[in-house]
Structure 1
Amino acid sequence: MGASYQEPSSLLLQDLKVTIKESSLIFPSEQTLTNKRKSMFLSNVDQILNFDVQTVHFFRQNKEFPPEIVTGILRKALVSAIDVYEFLAGRLRLNHSSGRLDVDCNGAGAGFVTAASEYTLEDLGDLVYPNPAFAQLVTSQLESFPKDDQPLFAFQLTSFKCGGFAMGISTNHTTFDGLSFKTFLENLATLLSEKPLSTPPCNDRTLLKARTPPRVTFPHHELVQLQNSEKTTVFETTAEHLDFNIFKLSSQQIMRLKEKASECLSSECVRVTGFNVVTALVWRCKALSLVEEEEEKDLERESTILYAVDIRGRLNPQLPSSYTGNAVLTAYAKAKRKALHEEPFGRIVEMVGEGSKRITDEYARSAIDWGEMYKGFPHGEVLVSSWWKLGFAEVEYPWGKPKYSCPVVYHRKDIVLLFPDIDGDSKGVNVLAALPSKEMCKFQKWFEDTVC
């Protein structure tokens, strides 16, 4: 069916031959620094996301904006940006009195690094394929700073021999979710053009503060307590060898999956969306990749899929669309693997859709209050992390839109990523899975069986 390709890592550039030219800090303006120092509250959603997210944004050559010119205007624009996103120049701290993380908005600075590669942008080959070497285009730890004083935000601009360049951005996940990071990029683009902010940010994280007293009014099967040492978080990396495989789905294939699901849908309350059918497909394939020759004991085991849902418009009152924090909760669907093997595809799509529909204002508040009481984290068999429609590559900078934008991918076998295509089918999607070889073979088999 031509929906999958796997490129041997030996064909990828293992070393991008990047040389760091300068590493420094960018500080807020003097006027901002003279304001009273304060701490920024972090919600219970923010609290569990204390890890770095690294993205790379590749740009073709623009003769009016060579990398050295871009470097200068970026520095200036980032100063203006951290004046309004003041937490980006702060430091993450543990508040010993509350036992919670918060951000000390102390103006200690954001990282800014300039670098150069000995290659051209074309030499890098397929930008969609997860090349571990892309980590060389991002700085998350400044070597001259101790581990407990690292910036929450670091920017690296790497120039290529062709005149193109890459913007590598590392942010601690406590600072942004995907939607608010997209808004940040749009605001940065307007500042680069010396225009007012397109969307002034709302930095008030107390809008997602737990109720007093906390009230857990729903069962939260998607969450597990930290005290349960037998459970591990899906965000953890693994040292075992994993095969990477990208499964390409065209808009036509997604449409056929939607039609297939609609044929056997038992309820009209769940929408058959592109995301729901792709997520249902991933869930089925991941669950059945763990089944040994349809052994009954494996089929009887329960499988739980997790995915993020934006709650800005689901709360009462609604959160501002400009809310900068993590305004996402983990939706879930669970079923025995036997059901995922035998049920019609439409029923699996239905279960996925029911997970999103479950998240009302009261459910969201209950989940936040659960975090207040139990200090837990999401847990399931597989997490679908979607970068598909975030639109990072649609941001218009003075030098044009990115050729491609992507996260730096690490070894996480329980996370399946959804990416947009590059220079192709705008409504298609790339499904990136990383699994042990034996499981990958089964995943691919079930993928092709379901799509065909």
Structure 2
Amino acid sequence: MFLSNIDQVLNFDVQTIHFFNPNPEFPPKIVFEKLKNALQKLLVPYYFLPGRVKVNTETGRIEIDCKNAGIGFVVASCEYTLDELGDLVYPNPAFEELLTKELDATLGADGHPLCIVQMTAFKCGGFAMGLQTNHAIFDGTSIKYLLQNLAALADDKPLPIVPCNERELLAARDPPRVTFPHPELLKLKIPIGQEGEGEQNPTIFDTTPQDLDFKIFSLSEKDIFYLKAKAKAGPTNGKGKITGFNVISALVWRCKALSNSENDENNLLERSSTMLFAVDIRAKLNPPLPTSFAGNAVLTAYAMADCKRLEEAPLSELVDLVTEGATRMNDEYARSAIDWGELYKGFPNGEFLMSSWWRLGFNQVEYPWGKPKYCCPLVYHRKDIILLFPDINESNAGVNVLVALPHKEMAKFESLFYKFLSS
């Protein structure tokens, strides 16, 4: 199966945990059997899922070998109740136990599976579903549709969303036409799929071993309303779209840029800062992609400003910059970025990435035994990625901002966060 240039740079695993309260009509043993049967049925419309990533030696590109090698399904139990796990919102290193990341070759796995599901029963009758998938085959939206389809099959219902597997819809043009500068992308001349295993490319996805503090900054519905009102009241050029994501991104960008201690304090305000964030391009292309497109249909948008402007400008002006980054992503810009990937590979390139899980809606999926109590990514502490994820209450009106930074930068970030939030 062909993988697009967007898919090419996302060849890594993503893990999520989905927690479920006890349901007397659906004890874990029954749920696990239903999910196993549903997963087997799911492999028909998602025929590539039991395949494996391989490198095409002629093109230097990765692709999916749809050889039906299978996915992983693991059953586990835990001596704790769900309540004893404590605050599910707070990133808990113990949640690593709720996922299986590798399968032993003796279990019949032929290479690394594209999908592994672990079901863990708690003493109370609740359970967790740990899901690991390769990002090269799904983005957040297509994972949500996969979960909705899984829930329907577990309830013996037809698929609500038939996946569109035509990944060639995002193929580069021939010849490639890069019609915009792309400061959000890093130019690499290494042929796709031919990087050395020990090679370290300076991309936003690189992990750097650092001693980092991490904190969750919770914004209530009232806080978000206040930020929106503040942006609306400020001077603006009229381009700013005052959404929850845009006002939160503007606030976090300002704090992250001004807390950076890698530069001399005297030169800090002269430094340029670039925030990256994902934009779904399904509806932005001409013609639009099918909503059910199963591959990665997100590209990296950017907002750029010097730190002096980030410190002094009103919130409305920063919201304008974030909005500009999203509206820049029209059909021609998206096609240009995809063509850039054909020529230069095109890893994201910026100071940090805002990764939003806030509105993906994983916790709104209706299974036969009910909706999840909470869904969250398995969190890695990375100073170059700031996560937004929903609160645990039903409304999802609030948002949690997970930040990981060296101690000195964290103290500065925290001080700036509450200063800018209340001023």
Which category describes the TM-score, using the shorter chain as reference length? over 0.9
Question: What residue in structure 2 maps to residue 217 of structure 1?
Answer: 179
Question: What residue in structure 1 maps to residue 213 of structure 2?
Answer: 243
CA contact (8 A) 1:243 1:440 kept: yes
Instruction: Write the distance in 2 (CA, Å) between the matches of 1:284 and 1:116.
Output: 44
2:52 is equivalent to residue 91 of structure 1: yes
2:422 is equivalent to residue 444 of structure 1: no
- CA pair 148-213 structure 1, distance change in 2 beyond 3 A: farther
Question: What residue in structure 2 maps to residue 15 of structure 1?
Answer: none
Question: What residue in structure 2 maps to residue 356 of structure 1?
Answer: 326
CA contact (8 A) 1:113 1:156 kept: yes
Shift in Å, 1:87: 1.1
Q: Give 1:140's aligned amino acid.
A: K
Shift in Å, 1:262: 1.5
Provide Cα deviations, 1:106-159, integer angstroms capped at 9, x if missing partner. 111000000111111111100001112211111121022699701100100000
Q: Give 1:73's aligned amino acid.
A: K
Correspondences of 1:50-199 after superposition (within 5 Å): 50-144=11-105, 149-199=111-161
Q: Give 1:175's aligned amino acid.
A: I
Which of 360, 366, 369 does residue 339 from structure 2 map onto? 369
Secondary structure at 1:266's aligned position in 2? coil
Secondary structure at 1:156's aligned position in 2? strand
Please give the TM-score of this superposition, normalised by the length of structure 1.
Answer: 0.89
2:372 is equivalent to residue 402 of structure 1: yes
Gaps of 5+ in 2: 191-198
Q: Give 1:192's aligned amino acid.
A: A
Which of 8, 30, 36 does residue 47 from structure 1 map onto? 8
CA contact (8 A) 1:93 1:103 kept: yes
Secondary structure at 2:283's aligned position in 1? coil
Correspondences of 1:181-330 after superposition (within 5 Å): 181-227=143-189, 232-291=202-261, 295-330=265-300
Provide Cα deviations, 1:280-311, integer angstroms capped at 9, x if missing partner. 11100100111589823121111000000000
Instruction: Write the distance in 1 (CA, Å) between the matches of 2:335 and 2:353.
Output: 22
- CA pair 365-293 structure 1, distance change in 2 beyond 3 A: closer
Instruction: Write the distance in 2 (CA, Å) between the matches of 1:77 and 1:147.
Output: 20
Which of 378, 383, 389 does residue 413 from structure 1 map onto? 383
Question: What residue in structure 1 maps to residue 196 of structure 2?
Answer: none
Q: Give 1:450's aligned amino acid.
A: F
- CA pair 54-151 structure 1, distance change in 2 beyond 3 A: same
Please give the TM-score of this superposition, normalised by the length of structure 2.
Answer: 0.95
Secondary structure at 1:87's aligned position in 2? coil
- CA pair 193-425 structure 1, distance change in 2 beyond 3 A: closer
Gaps of 5+ in 1: 1-39
Instruction: Write the distance in 2 (CA, Å) between the matches of 1:120 and 1:441.
Output: 35
Instruction: Write the distance in 1 (CA, Å) between the matches of 2:307 and 2:388.
Output: 23
Secondary structure at 2:33's aligned position in 1? helix
Instruction: Write the distance in 2 (CA, Å) between the matches of 1:213 and 1:293.
Output: 42
Secondary structure at 1:232's aligned position in 2? coil
Q: Give 2:62's aligned amino acid.
A: L
Instruction: Write the distance in 1 (CA, Å) between the matches of 2:173 and 2:262.
Output: 46
CA contact (8 A) 1:250 1:425 kept: no
Secondary structure at 1:207's aligned position in 2? helix
Instruction: Write the distance in 1 (CA, Å) between the matches of 2:212 and 2:386.
Output: 13
CA contact (8 A) 1:132 1:410 kept: no
Instruction: Write the distance in 2 (CA, Å) between the matches of 1:79 and 1:424.
Output: 31
Instruction: Report which stretch shifted further, 395-404 or 263-272.
Output: 263-272
Shift in Å, 1:437: 1.0
Q: Give 1:319's aligned amino acid.
A: L
Q: Give 1:339's aligned amino acid.
A: R
- CA pair 292-260 structure 1, distance change in 2 beyond 3 A: farther
Q: Give 2:237's aligned amino acid.
A: S
Q: Percent identity?
A: 59
Instruction: Write the distance in 2 (CA, Å) between the matches of 1:110 and 1:148.
Output: 10
Q: Give 1:325's aligned amino acid.
A: G
Instruction: Write the distance in 2 (CA, Å) between the matches of 1:163 and 1:230.
Output: 45
Shift in Å, 1:342: 1.1
Provide Cα deviations, 1:304-362, integer angstroms capped at 9, x if missing partner. 00000000000001000000000000000111111101111111111011000100000
CA contact (8 A) 2:214 2:381 kept: no
CA contact (8 A) 1:58 1:166 kept: yes
Instruction: Write the distance in 2 (CA, Å) between the matches of 1:239 and 1:134.
Output: 21
> How many residues were matched structurally?
413
